[in-house]
Structure 1
Amino acid sequence: MTAPAATSGRKGGRWIEQWDPEDEEFWARTGEKVARRNLLYSVFSEHIGFSIWTLWSVMVLFMGPEYGIDPAGKFFLIGTATLVGAMIRVPYTFAVARFGGRNWTIVSACLLLIPTIAAFAVMEPGTSYTTFVLVAALTGVGGGNFASSMTNINSFFPLRKKGWALGLNAGGGNIGVPVVQLVGLLVIGTAGAGHPRILLGAYIPLIVLAAVLAALRMDNLAPVRNDTGAAKEAVRDPHTWIMSFLYIGTFGSFIGYSFAFGLVLQTQFGRTPLQAASLTFIGPLLGSLIRPVGGRLADRHGGARITLWNFAAMGTATVVVIFASVRESLPVFLVGFIALFVLSGLGNGSTYKMIPGIFTAKAYAKGLAGEAADAWARRLSGASMGLIGAVGAVGGLGINLAFRQSFQSAGTGTAAFVVFLGVYVVCCVVTWAVYLRRTAPPAVAAQPTAEPKPQLSYAEV
């Protein structure tokens, strides 16, 4: 195996023609250095993407009575951004293999300029509501960056390093949510709520920087190809859709609450823009930082077990939030709501950890063993992750639509929280019934020269 050769003539970009991270000698010699470099700049680009995707969670804090938009209208704005960001994850997943990871990172970063400049142009009283909806929809391109970035980094690292690399990539991206909210707090606290263009102007050079760094420091992997057969198998597999539903409960909650938190504080508890902004960032920050912990706990105790108990805890936290909403107690509400952020972040790690374990268990159930089982599991789990990520993000839309209806009909978010409680109960039941209730099937026969290797129980995934 030779070192990866970067060429400048293929498809107009820097391409590494040979890449085998599973070869330990190659990995130690050159692979790890190249992979870590690409990871660093991928995290930065994805981080900016998350900030732009959740931009309207901050913009609505700047929109006072002079904008003439009621709370239901503001929830629809952030719901629109959530929906587009979720749907665009599917094509972004396949774009890496089609255009190259470096090339697509450049393109996806440049695309972030469109919603940012558009918002800069229209963010003032008197702009029509339809215009605001269209501009909010444009920010959805930032949501797609997660899918393409995870797909790209997944290809750079060996199996033994993927958990750490993907966790760092996802966590670094997710932190873009509280960062844009902190920048919004800084602008409101210093210049006032009448100057949203300062926030937008600050991100334009950062987007350009992300594109330039990707062009100068990242690489494309020529061996990466779209596997349409694996994608079709993943779509037909019921576990893809079961895990999509569970990911709605974890990541859908995280992104939905991230969009809605500040607006709920303003609408239900009468906080000023500055007061709301000073609290909004706390939950997303803690939820982002704890995501790798969920994966580590899942490694030790089994993803299904951690996910089950996590959903039970989310249900308990929701009960606290409902109590606080009825009693109009802001301190208790903050405790319960921030707990929901922390638990949703923990669940993000444990549910994503389950995916490769599920398909490994299925590989052994099919009679495969050793490298053949691992290869089949990698194909199917990789193909399913993009779809699961897209469907899970749709949960954020459901949360914002539920808040919109609740505030429109009752003036509070209590009814929405009751619905969320019901969803978490169903997630608990599904996790237990599918992945914990049944015992493992008989062990798969091992090769004559190897020690018998028992089939994974779903409880171990």
Structure 2
Amino acid sequence: MSHSPTAPARDPRTVPPTKTPSGRGHRLTGWDPEDEAAWEAGGKRVARRNLVMSVLSEHVGFSVWSMWSVLVLFMSPRTGHDFSAGQKFLLVLVPTLVGALLRLPYSYAVTRFGGRNWTVFASVVLFVPTTLALYFVHRPGTPLWVFLLIGATAGVGGGNFASSMTNITAFYPQRYQGWALGLNAGGGNLGVAVVQLVGLLVISTAGDTHPAYVAAVYLPLIALCAVLAALFMDNIDTLRPQPGVQREAARHTDTWWISLLYIGTFGSFIGYGFAFGIILQSQFGSTPLQAAQLTFLGPLLGSLSRPLGGWLADRWGGARVTLATYLGLAAGTVGLLVASARHSLELFLAGFTALFVLSGLGNGSTYKMIPAVFARKAQRDVTDGGDAAEAFARARRLSGAVIAIAGAIGALGGAGINLTFRTSYSAFGSGEAAFWTFLGFYALCVLVVRSVYLPAERDETGTRA
């Protein structure tokens, strides 16, 4: 079992944080999750309540973000939207890209306006892409550029992830962050599977000519999330803008190595989640109903495996779990190449399901590596004579900044996957060239984990990997 170093406990006589009224809503003062006495005296209940509300909001955000992966299944000559496979890949590429670009400003915004306040706003703004989709998606002859603009507005759902993760990082002590971040992100990731289940329900009951029903389901859910966040979430005084912290994080090599790894894990999850249905229609001739029946399972299992990845990383170390994940992703990609060559739908489904599960595990373990890496740096500073409180406070600030940067870059990996698929299908009529590209990237990530992070983790625990 590996244990990441943590800051020393503070005076056990410290009282737990108290909620005080404020003109800007609920505010927690004196919040310090590393204070074990305050944590046990009530802090963990406060953190759990905010975590539940955060998961709900992020979940709906992910559903809105990935809604176009479902809506494209309805687009056919029957609905007046005769788009090619390449155009459909473009439709799912745009919200992925915009969601990635919004993650850094969303991460900053939660420190500027408060976790509760920003979650309410981030929920309310989801009305824009959902209402636009509801109005236009059932109008035959709507040009592609209109759908691309509407898809771009859906990117706000992808930004929710960054603000949510930055907020929850501040609520939990370092020793529980693998579990808490994994649960928060996994619950959000479930939105990809749930919106696909909604699409399946619509197609199986109303047919494949009513895509507006999918958007209509989410309007009351968005309102519910905004109300619950306003009633039950809190702002905390310790979550505030840190001038220059992202620039400082950008100077650390670890920021970019971990971002590279997150491209391969989260980029795979969101990229495959957006593209899977289009691939089934293009490569295997699946009908909208057949595609909808199959697309939800992979994202569902990948979402559920994310907290498990965080838990395994808490127990065995993030580098070990991430390395095993990338070896599995490489093996699963080889399976997809074999399935494509044999035109075997069964083998293809098995390979894709494995990729979703493994990417979910890797999402959890890679994010766990972030606080662990900077906690090790803080411990070295303390060993060299630095002040413990200052060193670990700096580590926490940097961890939050790197989580935001890695989250944004990882989401860009999803856009890269869809762009690679679009190029592969446009040029060769199949996804084999894309799979070879992904296999090479996974091999690179194996080398990074093996050479950069595994030795440090092995030295920390005193055991062999």
Letter in 2 for 1:28: E
Decide whether the 8 Å contact of 1:88 with 1:141 is kept in 2: yes
Query: Helix, strand or coil for the counterpart of 1:412?
Result: coil
Gaps of 5+ in 2: 1-13
Map 1:88-127 to 2 at 5 A.
88-124=102-138, 125-127=140-142
Decide whether the 8 Å contact of 1:304 with 1:460 is kept in 2: no
Task: Decide which of 232, 241, 249 is 1:226's aligned counterpart.
Answer: 241
Per-residue deviation, residues 20-79 of structure 1 (Å, max 9, x unmatched)? 333333333332222222111111111000100101000100111331211100101101
Match of 2:3 in 1: none
Task: Decide which of 286, 289, 300 is 1:285's aligned counterpart.
Answer: 300
Match of 2:87 in 1: 73
Per-residue deviation, residues 293-336 of structure 1 (Å, max 9, x unmatched)? 22222233322122122111111110110111121110011111
Question: How far did residue 431 of structure 1 move?
Answer: 1.6
Task: Decide which of 59, 79, 82 is 1:47's aligned counterpart.
Answer: 59
Match of 1:34 in 2: 46
Moved over 6 A (4+): 457-461
Question: How far did residue 206 of structure 1 move?
Answer: 0.3
Question: How far did residue 2 of structure 1 move?
Answer: 4.7
Aligned counterparts of 1:292 and 1:284: Cα–Cα separation in 2 = 14
Map 1:226-305 to 2 at 5 A.
226-305=241-320
Relative to structure 1, the CA distance from residue 215 to residue 86 in structure 2 (aligned partners, 3 Å threshold; closer, same or farther) is: same
Decide whether the 8 Å contact of 1:5 with 1:17 is kept in 2: yes
Relative to structure 1, the CA distance from residue 199 to residue 234 in structure 2 (aligned partners, 3 Å threshold; closer, same or farther) is: same
Match of 2:19 in 1: 6
Map 1:151-170 to 2 at 5 A.
151-170=166-185
Q: Structure 1 residue 419 and structure 2 residue 437: aligned?
A: yes
Aligned counterparts of 1:429 and 1:107: Cα–Cα separation in 2 = 41
Match of 1:432 in 2: 450
Aligned counterparts of 1:69 and 1:439: Cα–Cα separation in 2 = 49
Query: Helix, strand or coil for the counterpart of 1:67?
Result: coil
Aligned counterparts of 1:22 and 1:429: Cα–Cα separation in 2 = 34
Letter in 2 for 1:277: A
Give % identity. Answer: 57
Question: How far did residue 121 of structure 1 move?
Answer: 1.0
Decide whether the 8 Å contact of 1:52 with 1:142 is kept in 2: yes
- Mean Cα deviation higher: 293-302 or 389-398: 293-302
Decide whether the 8 Å contact of 2:178 with 2:367 is kept in 1: no
Question: How far did residue 354 of structure 1 move?
Answer: 1.2
Aligned counterparts of 2:455 and 2:238: Cα–Cα separation in 1 = 41
Match of 1:57 in 2: 69
Relative to structure 1, the CA distance from residue 165 to residue 435 in structure 2 (aligned partners, 3 Å threshold; closer, same or farther) is: closer
Decide whether the 8 Å contact of 2:299 with 2:356 is kept in 1: yes
Question: How far did residue 251 of structure 1 move?
Answer: 0.5
Question: How far did residue 13 of structure 1 move?
Answer: 2.1
Decide whether the 8 Å contact of 2:165 with 2:403 is kept in 1: no
Aligned counterparts of 1:350 and 1:151: Cα–Cα separation in 2 = 17
Task: Decide which of 333, 349, 357 is 2:372's aligned counterpart.
Answer: 357
Question: How far did residue 152 of structure 1 move?
Answer: 1.2
C-alpha RMSD of the superposition: 2.0
Question: How far did residue 458 of structure 1 move?
Answer: 11
Aligned counterparts of 1:458 and 1:13: Cα–Cα separation in 2 = 48
Aligned counterparts of 1:405 and 1:412: Cα–Cα separation in 2 = 10
TM-score for both structures, normalised by structure 2: 0.91
Aligned counterparts of 1:459 and 1:408: Cα–Cα separation in 2 = 49
Relative to structure 1, the CA distance from residue 33 to residue 295 in structure 2 (aligned partners, 3 Å threshold; closer, same or farther) is: closer
Aligned counterparts of 1:179 and 1:336: Cα–Cα separation in 2 = 21
Question: How far did residue 7 of structure 1 move?
Answer: 3.9
Letter in 2 for 1:27: W
Gaps of 5+ in 1: 441-454
Letter in 1 for 2:111: A
TM-score for both structures, normalised by structure 1: 0.92
Per-residue deviation, residues 388-418 of structure 1 (Å, max 9, x unmatched)? 1110110000100011011111111111111
Match of 2:396 in 1: 378
Q: Structure 1 residue 82 and structure 2 residue 96: aligned?
A: yes
Decide whether the 8 Å contact of 2:420 with 2:434 is kept in 1: yes
Aligned counterparts of 1:269 and 1:438: Cα–Cα separation in 2 = 45
- Mean Cα deviation higher: 233-242 or 13-22: 13-22
Decide whether the 8 Å contact of 2:319 with 2:457 is kept in 1: no
Aligned counterparts of 1:460 and 1:185: Cα–Cα separation in 2 = 47
Relative to structure 1, the CA distance from residue 3 to residue 431 in structure 2 (aligned partners, 3 Å threshold; closer, same or farther) is: closer
Per-residue deviation, residues 90-114 of structure 1 (Å, max 9, x unmatched)? 0110111111111101000001000
Question: How far did residue 361 of structure 1 move?
Answer: 2.6
Query: Helix, strand or coil for the counterpart of 1:20?
Result: coil
Decide whether the 8 Å contact of 1:304 with 1:458 is kept in 2: no
Letter in 2 for 1:456: E
Question: How far did residue 187 of structure 1 move?
Answer: 0.2
Per-residue deviation, residues 218-270 of structure 1 (Å, max 9, x unmatched)? 11112321112332211111110011001000010000000001110011100
Aligned counterparts of 2:29 and 2:447: Cα–Cα separation in 1 = 47
Aligned counterparts of 1:436 and 1:27: Cα–Cα separation in 2 = 32
Letter in 2 for 1:412: S
